[in-house]
Amino acid sequence: MRGNVLEWRKNAKESEGAFRIQAEGKDGGMKIVIGNDHAALEMKREIAEYLKRKGIEVLNVGTDSPERYPYPLAGYHVAKTVADGEADCGIAICGTGIGISLAANKVPGIRAFACSEPYSSEMAKRHNNANVLCFGARVVGTELAKRIVDAWLNAEFEGGRHKERVDMITELEKNGRLEKNRR
């Protein structure tokens, strides 16, 4: 198990180019929904093309115009698509990644996170089973964004004690509280 960012970077360099993604595109492989506001138009295009080159089917629910487009709307559309089972997971991009992640997390069943480096991206999947990755086009460059995406997609949810914690998040989402006897 990788314990820190430096160790992750070392391991990532050693395994560069080796991906566990086994997507087959439209023939039953992975489907990712991607959405963006106006600040992330170019980043969305580049990440969508990157995913397509990997054989991943990409569903675009973001704006394709440089005109203003509200990040809550983009975050909602990505999250709703994932929650409805129309995509395996989602990527939402705005200027910082923060606002769009806040909006996405309002949709029941969504575990969205804002990220600006690969280690946290990997851990969001391994420990939190995060289903929507958010980042900022004004915060990370394209190459770093690709590494963040790869770290997340290549990671697998570990389950076990982490599943118990994700279940607590789901309980909190549904009931607005946790059981009294939990610490």
Q: How far apart are CA 31 and CA 88, in angstroms?
A: 5
38, 89, 94, 115: the catalytic one is 94
Three-state secondary structure call for residue 174? helix
Helix (H, G, I), strand (E, B) or coil at 163: helix
94 an active-site residue? Answer: yes
**Whole-angstrom distance, CA of residue 8 vs CA of residue 5:** 5
DSSP conformational letter for 17 = T
Q: Is 115 a catalytic residue?
A: no
**Helix (H) or strand (E) segment spanning residue 119:** helix 118-128
The residues annotated with a catalytic role in the active site are 94, 127
